[in-house]
Amino acid sequence: YTVTGVKLISYNDKHEVVKEIPYEVPSKAYDNIDLLDASMDEEGDILISMQLSKIINYPDVMERTLALLYMPEGEDRFMFRKMKLPSSLELKDATFSINPFAGNINMLITKSWETTVQNGLNRDNVELLSRSMFIMPKDISGIKETRIAYEKPTQLLREAMKDTTVNFYGSMIDANTDGRGVTTVVYEQRYLPYRPKGNEVVPYYTGNVCVVQYDDNGAEMWATVLPKEHYYVVRETFPSVFKRTSQLETYKTLYLCGKKSHYILFNDVEENCNKRLGEEIKKVYNYQNTNAMYYHMNKRNVVVQKYLLGAPVPGEFKYIYPGSADFDKQNNSVALLMCHKKEAGESFHIAWKKLEN
């Protein structure tokens, strides 16, 4: 491609096009263009991140470049910057938030690279992952990188499991930066429990949820690890744009950031409610026999687990579709699709919940 087109289309409440803002990313020198993230924060700032790749010597040597498109709220044009990456490095995902205290952009990225390890008489290629926070001024003129090491989550996990060899590593669910410059990031452990044999289908493990708060330099301030043990089989994947997806899987975990509190919503079985880290957790495979729950974390970082749609009734289940949720931060309320399952059958409803501060 000579150029890769990006277009922002704005609609009014009648679904009519208000304006279109196009941008052409120069891509003639590259072989592949991968969208990492397209996000809009609560104030209306938009950041689009892409990875541009050029094949030097396939498949081992690739030249990769991080491309950023940023448009502050109220502007009508994108700022564009590129940053060349080390040849062995590949970016997997990204998300961002605006730090109003320092006037910076905080961008969290996942990096991947391959190395070889000795396995008996053989040497195997393995993929290693790490995560960093890129701190940038709003003109995206430079980047300061801080490596995310999960020191506090790992310490909490080791103390609860009484095992000094375990480490925490999680996939990002979402991030938010408040007016004090504190960035709250929610992670979830996700991995295959073991390598499949042949055409075997192995359920993914989505385990403990971790909340970490960072200062405006990217250093860990506080963390908690919340127990969960879920499994699911990936049937289909969907694109994520502006942190919204079209997927309605019932195994998903949803993070909502209110004015004074944070909320983590998911479906789980009654036996797991108010379990502590280190206690035995019931494994969940069938989400049609679960109830919607959530963790409420207030501004003092006190975490309480509750039922989202009321305490369960014997023989009945009320579970949610997290991908359908719409959160009204002004009124601190969430609307989403839910299923009410009982002996007579299933019925689907739109549920509204006003969340406490």
Instruction: State what percent of residues in the chain have pLDDT above 90.
Output: 54
Exposure on the CB side of residue 35, measured as CA atoms within 13 A: 12
Of residues 271 and 195, more confidently modeled = 271
Single-letter amino acid, residue 56: I
In this predicted model, what pLDDT tens digit does every residue of 328-350 receive, in sequence order? Answer: 999 999 999 999 999 889 999 99
Strands 171-177 and 144-148: unpaired
Note the pLDDT of residue 238: 52
Could you tell me where the DSSP H helices lie in the chain? Answer: 151-161
Kindly report the pTM of this predicted structure: 0.85
Q: Report the 10 Å Cβ neighbour count for 277.
A: 16
pLDDT-derived band at 247, boundaries 50, 70, 90: very low
Q: How many residues does the chain have?
A: 357
Kindly compute the dihedral angle of the four CA atoms of residues 255, 15, 248, 344, in this order, to the nearest 10 degrees.
Answer: 110
Sequence-ordered list of residues with C-beta below 8 angstroms from that of 49, at least 6 positions apart, any chain: 35, 36, 37, 38, 66, 67, 68, 69, 91, 94, 96, 107, 109
pLDDT tens by residue, 279-309? 999 999 999 999 999 999 999 999 999 999 9
